[in-house]
């Protein structure tokens, strides 16, 4: 068996990313040619970790082949891994001495992330009080503190969906999931929520009166990446409704949505989102090694202040990815490539 040597590797998901892989390969062909670097695209299913051999798509300029290649020293993971087997392979891969994997995980346990962020100076500006959901936190939050609560999954393979619990009148609550609502008595509330959670873990978050867009709150997704200099930068900010709404809505630029409503503040809002998100990513670097991409979701209160609701790794939602401006898609790929190149040069310099 002929085994080729490659410089950089990229992991993708053959099923979930089938619509983007062709574009990715096409784009990386140009980068390979320009930098005279051999690349390989592969899935975890086609990695033999014992043998450290990949059966993948190698890219050498315009020459694209399906062949065997040795495991490259630097790998960028675009995918999310679902099965126990995939997760185990990725765990072993990231622990290997001779390999660095950027974004080994692209979904995070949200209550751990939120807990980390509570120690970031000034985080109260964008972080709503939250706790792991259980009977006592629900009682505490409802009885003593808040009129409205958000319930969000601790971690999920799918785009997260929020549940909104609102005190309707004394001893009655409205439970909203997307645009659907149900009234529930205080005594039945816990059982109803537990049934809805289906044994999955959730975070309880203080609810706010949010800035409406259509039927639900307007959400912003900030895309951040490390690039050629190894530093975080803000790639784009898009508008969507997804976590709090039944239907997915998306717009490539948040300005397009905000324009009609709050013209004077647009620049401030964008700047705040970018600044806060950069601070979050730089801070997470102290707790989570080898991060290369982040998506950070916010909703806005009535004063247009953003509040964090979800942190993810590389964009996994193909609808959102494909809806992006092609230039932004390429920027995401370019940054992934250049960050690996930066790491390769850095380790070469260190000898």
Partner 1 sequence: MIWIKAQIEDTSPLEHSPNIIYVSESLADKLKTQTKLFFGQAEITISVQVSPAIPECMGTQFHDPAPIRFSPNLFKQLLIQESAVYQMHYTETTINIGPVIGFLLGDQHYYYHHRRLKELTYAMGVYEKVGGLFIAFRQCSISWQEMCIYGLYFNYGIQRWQYGKLPLPSVVYRRGFISNKNFVNKCNDLLNWKIFNEVRFDKWQFYNQLKENNILNQYLPETELLTVDNLSKFLNKYSKVILKPTKLSRGRGISILTSGCDGNLEVHDYRRFADFKITTSQLADYLHEGKYLQSAYIIQRFLDVPRINGCPWDIRVVMQKNRWKQWVCNGIECRLAGAGKLITNISSGGRALELNEVLQLAFGTEIDPIQVGKDIGSISMEFCKMMDRTGFRFAEFGLDLAIDQKMHYWFIEANVRPTFNGFKTLDDRIYRQICYEPILYSASIAGFGWEDNDGTSIQHHS
Q: Pairing between strand 63-70 and 53-60?
A: antiparallel
* 51/265 with CB nearer partner 1: 51
CB of 288 to partner 1, least distance (A): 5
If the CB atoms of residues 92 and 171 are measured against partner 1, the closer one turns out to be 92
Q: List residues near partner 1 by CB under 8 A.
A: 50-52, 94-97, 104-105, 108-109, 112, 115-116, 118-119, 283, 285-289, 350
Judged by DSSP in three states, 347 sits in helix
Shortest reach from residue 90's CB to partner 1, in Å: 9
Exposure on the CB side of residue 144, measured as CA atoms within 13 A: 5
Neighbouring C-alpha atoms within 13 Å toward the C-beta of 330: 9
Least distance (Å) between residue 344 CB and partner 1? 15
Residue 115 or 251: the one with the smaller Cβ distance to partner 1 is 115
Q: CA–CA separation, 199 vs 262, rounded Å?
A: 41
Q: What angle do CA 342, 348, 349 make, to 5 degrees?
A: 90
In what helix (H) or strand (E) does residue 59 lie, and over which residues does it extend?
Answer: strand 53-60
> Whole-number minimum distance, CB 316 to partner 1, in Å?
17
Q: Residue 313 CB, nearest distance to partner 1 (Å)?
A: 11
Cα separation, 118 vs 68, whole angstroms: 46
**Is the distance from CB of 296 to CB of 224 less than 8 angstroms?**
yes
- As measured in angstroms, the least distance from the Cβ of 236 to partner 1 is 26
Spatial distance between the Cα atoms of 244 and 231, rounded to a whole number of angstroms: 32
Nearer to partner 1, 46 or 123 (CB): 123
For residue 147, the 8-state DSSP code is: S
In the bound state with partner 1, the residue whose beta carbon lies nearer, of 49 and 262, is 49
Q: Is the CB of 48 or the CB of 63 nearer to partner 1?
A: 48
């Amino acid at each position: 068996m002929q085994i080729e040597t490659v410089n950089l590797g990229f992991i993708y998901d053959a099923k979930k990313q089938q619509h983007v892989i062709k574009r990715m390969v096409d784009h990386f062909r140009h980068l390979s040619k320009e930098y005279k670097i051999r690349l390989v695209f592969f899935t975890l299913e086609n990695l033999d970790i014992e043998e450290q051999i990949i059966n993948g798509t190698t890219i050498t300029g315009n020459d694209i082949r399906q062949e065997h290649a040795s495991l490259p020293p630097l790998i960028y993971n675009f995918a999310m891994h679902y099965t126990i087997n995939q997760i185990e392979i990725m765990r072993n891969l990231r622990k290997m001495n001779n390999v660095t994997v950027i974004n080994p995980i692209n979904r995070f346990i949200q209550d751990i992330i939120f807990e980390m962020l509570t120690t970031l100076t000034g985080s109260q500006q964008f972080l709503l009080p939250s706790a792991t959901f259980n009977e006592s936190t629900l009682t505490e939050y409802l009885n003593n503190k808040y009129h409205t609560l958000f319930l969000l999954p601790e971690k999920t393979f799918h785009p997260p969906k929020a549940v909104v619990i609102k005190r309707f009148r004394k001893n009655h609550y409205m439970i909203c999931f997307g645009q659907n609502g149900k009234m529930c008595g205080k005594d039945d509330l816990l059982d109803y929520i537990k049934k809805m959670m289906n044994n999955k873990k959730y975070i309880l978050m203080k609810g706010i009166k949010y800035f409406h867009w259509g039927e639900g709150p307007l959400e912003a997704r900030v895309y951040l990446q490390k690039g050629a200099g190894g530093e975080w930068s803000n790639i784009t900010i898009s508008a969507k409704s997804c976590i709090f709404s039944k239907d997915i809505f998306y717009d490539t630029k948040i300005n397009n949505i905000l324009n009609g409503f709050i013209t004077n503040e647009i620049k401030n809002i964008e700047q705040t989102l970018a600044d806060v998100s950069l601070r979050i990513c730089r801070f997470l670097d102290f707790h989570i090694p080898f991060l290369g991409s982040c998506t950070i979701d916010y909703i806005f209160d009535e004063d247009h202040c953003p509040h964090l609701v979800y942190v993810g790794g590389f964009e996994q939602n193909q609808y959102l990815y494909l809806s992006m401006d092609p230039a932004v898609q390429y920027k995401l790929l370019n940054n992934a490539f250049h960050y690996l190149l930066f790491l390769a040069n850095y380790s070469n310099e260190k000898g």
